[in-house]
Structure 1
Amino acid sequence: MASELIPNAFLASPRSVRSSLVSRLLAAALLTIGAIAPALAGELLPLADKAVVLAFGDSLTSGIGGSGENYPQRLATLIGHEVINAGVPGETTAQGRERLSTVLRDSRPGLLILCLGVNDFLRGVPEAQIAANLGAMLDLAADASVPVLLLAVPAPGASQIDPLFARLARLGQVRIDLHAMADTLMQPALKAGLVHPNAEGYRQIAKAVAQSLRDGGALISR
């Protein structure tokens, strides 16, 4: 499978009865980083017929380098659902954290695809802060009862994914795809520069994300 999932039962739990995800992430980020462990098995809820998918992120979501191609637009044609492209070029996890609540309120999505972190890596943002910001966004989605597919991204020039993404998914109990974005960003033939995919790269990302949604049960009827 291209992605894994941890049960989403926490989405229905009052925030007061679960410990702060941000606090746990800050503590976990101080531990020695180990190998990426696979997430526990589980399923996403099937998307309702008219459910909207929110693709939230930076230039990798908006489509820089794709000559008009971007993965949310292509994904919409593959899954038969509207996919809102809420990508902002240059955005960091701190900026995304500030923006997400408004976008969730305005779009009312049935699913959030979250892809941020590359700009933090480029700026040398400490791992603990990246984890805290992403964790806060998972909390916002949980409070809005919106399931999440987290797309892991590699640091520019890295040969593997930072384990913080797998750890984040485990603590946040959300589905994670370790390959959809990362595999493309690690193939020079699918890139338009150091950071961004080219048109074919975005098409490959869309196909991989669509498969993740099928594997997770979000597109069970399609």
Structure 2
Amino acid sequence: MKNFIYLLLIFILVSCSIEKYPAIPKGATVVILGDSLSYGTGASEGEDYPNLLAKTTGWQIINAGIPGNTSADGLERLPRLLTAHRPKLLVVALGGNDFLQRLPSSETTANLKAILEQAKTQGITAVLVAVPELSPLKAAVGSLSDHPLYKKIAEETATPLVKNVFSEVLSDNSLKADQVHPNASGYGVVSGQMFEALKKLGFAG
């Protein structure tokens, strides 16, 4: 009985530790600021995860993913996107190209923090999506993990973090079109896991 109560208390504490955010209503505008992973490289038109997520949530999702974009490119594009769309939610999924180009992590961190700060100053809620750390060895054995800078940024900026989605998908060869992009099935998994993460945070119903 004591063990049961102990386990119950742990479950309650873990459940309470997930902060809940106001729900984003159906029809609301959501911007996903990203690179080729958001654009949908590796799959056919309409099979990208922002399009799939829009169907699940009922949100009007603007896919602002541009292949090759770095965090600096995303930061440069952000003001126009926020002005044009005034989203209820900004999903930030950048950094992969920074890692591929071996840019200093300090620059990536500064750019991502600036993106999140811009959204905050305009009263727009932002979510950060973690991207895998560049590791050919881990990729070869199917055990990619999120780059640690995302957890640190999320903690330092009090930003909700979507973890392990791309790391898990890109660790599975059956879900990849190439070494750094999911295929159509992979984007389906990304969309599903993204929805579940946003649901736990309270954004999606």
Question: Please, what TM-score do these two structures have when normalized by structure 1?
Answer: 0.78
Q: Partners in 1 of 2:167 and 2:126 — Cα distance?
A: 18
SS in 1 for 2:92: strand
Q: Which runs of 4+ in 1 moved over 6 A?
A: none
Indicate the SS of the match to 2:91: strand
> Within 5 A, what are the aligned runs for 1:126-205?
126-156=104-134, 157=136, 158=138, 159-205=144-190
Bigger helix share: 2
Q: What is the distance in 1 between the residues matched to 2:50 and 2:27?
A: 16
How many equivalent residue pairs?
Answer: 181
Which residue of structure 2 lines up, in the alignment, with residue 9 of structure 1? none
RMSD of equivalent CA atoms: 1.2
Equivalence for 2:37: 60
1:180-202, Cα deviation, whole Å (9 max, x unpaired): 22211221211100111000000
Q: What does 1:1-222 align with in structure 2 at a 5 Å threshold? A: 41-68=18-45, 69-156=47-134, 157=136, 158=138, 159-219=144-204, 222=205
Structure 1 gap segments, 5+ residues each: 1-39
Question: Cα deviations across residues 170-221 of structure 1 (Å, max 9, x unaligned)?
Answer: 11111101122221122121110011100000011111111111111112xx
Q: C-alpha distance in 1, partners of 2:51/2:94?
A: 18
**TM-score of the superposition, structure 2-length normalised?**
0.84
Q: Secondary structure at the match of 2:33?
A: strand
Percent of paired sites with the same residue = 36
Give the whole-Å Cα distance in 2 for the aligned partners of 1:79 and 1:153. Answer: 22
Q: Which has the larger radius of gyration?
A: 2
